Structure 1
Amino acid sequence: MSDPRTRLAAEFLKRAYQLQMQGELELAARLYQRSIQLNPTAEAHTFLGWTYHFQGRLEDAIAECKRAIEVDPHYGNPYNDIGAYLIELGRPAEAIPWLERATRSARYATYHFAWFNLGRAYVAQEMFTKALECFSHAQDIEPGYEPAVEAEDRIKRLLQ
């Protein structure tokens, strides 16, 4: 990473993330945008989308995730995030293909999130058997993943 623009973009990305975690969303968004101007990466677009999500700008968040996918279609995070945002918007059926793609992405460190969110999409459509399979798969990947454990328990109680 010897290119000065690339180094500066990475610094903006790092600082933006720190600001985002501190709740400084406007400033974080500006720094993510600056990072993208210098060196557009899938990560920067995805994190800008996540910032927009925290601001309640879900359609903008989805648009940024789609830009991330254009930059790197193998990066799993934006597929998962689009799915999660669509669930939040009350559009779980639209979320499913995005979440399925996240579960198959080549570059993704947290597959259990995608499986959990896929389960949430199925619950929202009252497809409980499929949801249980997804929550179980999330726990296979990340044993003891509490949101999946709790969701699975809720469904099992509901079906009794």
Structure 2
Amino acid sequence: MNLGDVLVEGDDIHGGGVNVAARLEGLARLGWVQGFMGRFDDAAANFERAVEIVPRNAEVYYTYGETMNRAGNPARALPVLEMAFSIDTFVPPGWQFAKGHSYVLLGRYE
């Protein structure tokens, strides 16, 4: 994805890519905080906006899935987590626990 030129002038950075990154970070962080506060509908809305801005960000999808697990909605969490794993094949340690948690909550375990 090319978001245009990024200009560096001293300590300042300008450009479309910088604006997108700032918006994405703000929405994802807000969604994470709202999830911890129990405001799961608000959190989901912010995560949805974040993935509209940058649709191939595995970390946002993972955090969204984790939040939906905490909301008690594993059916919504599982496809979101699957998307995170399909975007980034390198799965950091611990990320698989969220997917396993969804399966257990859905009763899909042996």
TM-score by length of 2: 0.71
| Cα drift, residue 6 of structure 1 | 4.8
What SS does structure 2 have at the residue aligned with 1:128?
A: coil
Q: 1:76 aligns with which of 58, 61, 68?
A: 58
Structure 1 match to 2:49: 67
State the Cα deviation string for residues 77-97 of structure 1 (Å, max 9, x = none).
221122122222222112111
What SS does structure 1 have at the residue aligned with 2:76?
A: helix
State the Cα deviation string for residues 46-100 of structure 1 (Å, max 9, x = none).
1111121222211111111111111111111221122122222222112111010
- Greater Rg over alpha carbons, structure: 1
Mark the CA change 1:5 to 1:58 in structure 2 (over 3 Å): closer, same or farther. Answer: farther
Output aligned runs, 1:2-151, within 5 Å: 2=8, 6=14, 40-106=22-88, 111-129=92-110
Gapped regions of structure 2 (runs ≥ 5)? 1-6
More helix by share: 1
Gapped regions of structure 1 (runs ≥ 5)? 11-34, 130-160
More strand by share: 2
State the Cα deviation string for residues 8-49 of structure 1 (Å, max 9, x = none).
xx8xxxxxxxxxxxxxxxxxxxxxxxx88xx75322211111
**Separation in 1 of the partners of 2:41 and 2:14?**
28
TM-score by length of 1: 0.51
How many equivalent residue pairs? 100
Structure 1 match to 2:3: none
User: What percentage of residue pairs aligned between the two structures are identical?
Assistant: 28
**Separation in 2 of the partners of 1:103 and 1:69?**
15
